[in-house]
Amino acid sequence: MSAVTAAVSRERIEAHVKNLEGVRHPVTGADALRRACSYVDDTLRELGYAVDLHPFIDGGSEYHNVVATRLGTRQPEKRVLVIAHYDTVSVSPGADDNASGVALLLELATICKEWHPELTLHFVGVNLEENSEEGVRGTGLRGSRALARFAVQQEWDIEAVLVLESVAYAGASIRQSVPAGLPFEVPQTGDFLAVIGNEFSRGVVGRFVLVVQDFGIPLPVVPLVVPGNGEVVPDTRRSDHAPFWDAGYPAIMLTDTTNFRNPHYHEVSDTFETLNLGFAVRVCQAAAGFLLGLVSGEAETPR
């Protein structure tokens, strides 16, 4: 095992999940949502990152994405983004969705704090990913849409976006289902990590899969490259990568597939006790190796 993958701490990941767990929703958990924003902000500042709160307006109120930055040493104009949303639906404590993703984001930031990346590296906690209306699809992703618009306006040169979306529910006894119309064969056992990209992100998907193999991480990975921007299979667009696809940036989502395997998805039972932390650690190890290759200038990302 490399020094990068060995640096991943199960204890830190567990602590982050437990600190974040609880309803984090603009109506039913507004105080907890603000605390989650502060927790992400404070943690990243304590790690030594330059942190900005990027505001956006939703429903007449101001919300914030938390953007931590480490400038690249050789090609600072090129950027790599790591993103996870810190809000929940109105009733769920959201341990898997998405305290697990935020915990991995913060753990990756901890591992990377001593790096001197050649490309600029951003760690971003985004807000209001969940649909604003219960049961109505397509009303979410407000924070990531605001961030993608900002990236376009500022003419960011983005090498890759890595979205961490519910990454801690897996096991050999868990049954896996698939969204309607998915044009791929998928294992029936829910013990794998799905790596989802669009056609433009095919090379980034392939690079992530190679990292898992090259580092010898015992993590089953199923790569899924969807046509276009995922319009044919709308379920592949249900997280913060989709606005970046639409803006023409290469982006991939790492996910345990949420409701297609997790019976606790968006329920009051989405608690820490249901999680597979060993799986989350292996996902984090793979993501750390992936980031190292991207920002160290070892190779260009294939397209």
pLDDT digits 0-9 by tens, 160-173: 999 999 999 999 99
Task: Of 81, 68, 97, 88, give the one whose Cα is nearest residue 128.
Answer: 88
pLDDT band at 302 (very low <50, low <70, confident <90, very high): very low
Q: What is the pTM of this model?
A: 0.96
Preceding peptide of 98 cis, ω within 30°? yes
The pLDDT tens digits of the residues spanning 76-98 come to 999 999 999 999 999 999 999 99
* DSSP H or E stretch at residue 164: strand 157-165
Q: Is 144 within 8 Å of 87 (Cβ atoms)?
A: no
| pLDDT recorded at residue 137 | 79
1 — pLDDT class (breaks 50, 70, 90): low
| Helix residue ranges per DSSP H, 69-227 | 101-112, 142-153, 202-214
Please state, in angstroms and as integers, the Cα–Cα distance from residue 183 to each residue in 89, 161, 206, 233, 295, following that order: 29, 24, 18, 9, 33
For range 195-201, the mean pLDDT: 98
Alpha helix ranges (H) inside the chain:
3-6, 10-20, 30-46, 101-112, 142-153, 202-214, 242-246, 277-295
pLDDT at 210 over 90: yes
- Distance between CA atoms of residues 103 and 12, nearest Å: 8
- CA distances (Å), origin 257, targets 49, 104, 152, 175: 31, 16, 29, 12
Q: For 26, phi and psi rounded to 5 degrees?
A: -65, -15
Task: Please tell me which residue, 39 or 5, carries the higher pLDDT value.
Answer: 39
What the block records as the tokens of 24 is 């984090």
Is the predicted pLDDT of residue 271 greater than 90, yes or no?
yes
Percent of the chain scoring above 70 in pLDDT: 97
Quote the CA–CA distance of 275 and 186 in Å, as a whole number: 22
Query: Cα–chain-centroid distance for residue 94?
Result: 14
Mean pLDDT (the chain) is 95
pLDDT (tens digit per residue) in 214-229? 999 999 999 999 999 9
Task: Report yes or no: 25 and 88 within 8 Å, Cβ to Cβ.
Answer: yes
According to CATH, what is the number of the domain 3-295? 3.40.630.10
- Which of the four pLDDT bands, split at 50, 70 and 90, describes residue 299? very low
- Where are the alpha helices (H) located in 62-112, listed in sequence order? 101-112
User: What is the mean predicted confidence (pLDDT) over 237-253?
Assistant: 98
What is the Cα 24 distance to its own chain's centre?
17
Token digits of residue 112 = 């990377």
Give the model's confidence band at 297: pLDDT under 50 very low, under 70 low, under 90 confident, else very high.
low
Contact 21, 102 (CB under 8 A): no
Task: Give the model confidence (pLDDT) of 110-163 as tens digits.
Answer: 999 999 999 999 999 999 999 987 777 778 999 999 999 999 999 999 999 999
Residue 60: pLDDT band with limits 50, 70, 90: very high
